Amino acid sequence: MSNLLALPLILLEVQTGNNEDWIDTVKYVAPVDDNDLNPAQVDLRDIYFEMEIRRALGNHEVVLSANSDDGSLSVGVPPDYGYFVFYILADYMKHQVPGDYIGDVVGRDDKFSRKIMQLQLTIVEGVTKWPSPA
């Protein structure tokens, strides 16, 4: 059994460019009390993650997707198993149109499915453009 049901719903505001890798992390911890300066990480292993980004609620078009299978959403390697990692390459981001988007991340284990993140995503137009590899 995973720790999926122990994960709170978090709200993220993210800004990234269409000329860069989108790399961000969220660390899940379980403090014992308010004075706990070194809380234990929540183990995210054994959870499958999927994300869809859309222009607006109700839009059917998915403009950006990511999941555990392709490595764009992952869990840190031990001992950092409490880190959720966004890793979306610039080759994918360069096709994204600048603007404001919404999305969420859903986690699944062998028994449950749960939304763990809600995103407000802003993609900005990158100024520096890398040439395509020959």
Q: How many domains does the chain have?
A: 1
d(CA 10, CA 28): 10
Does residue 63 fall inside a structural domain?
yes
Does residue 62 fall inside a structural domain?
yes
Does residue 133 fall inside a structural domain?
no
The pLDDT tens digits for 112-126 are 999 999 999 999 999
Position 129 scores a pLDDT of 83
d(CA 101, CA 125): 14
Does residue 117 fall inside a structural domain?
yes
pLDDT beneath 50: ranges in the chain: none
CATH of residue 87: 2.60.40.10
Position 86 scores a pLDDT of 98
Position 133 scores a pLDDT of 58
The pLDDT tens digits for 66-77 are 999 999 999 999
What's the pTM value of the predicted model, to 2 decimals?
Answer: 0.91
Does residue 113 fall inside a structural domain?
yes
Does residue 48 fall inside a structural domain?
yes
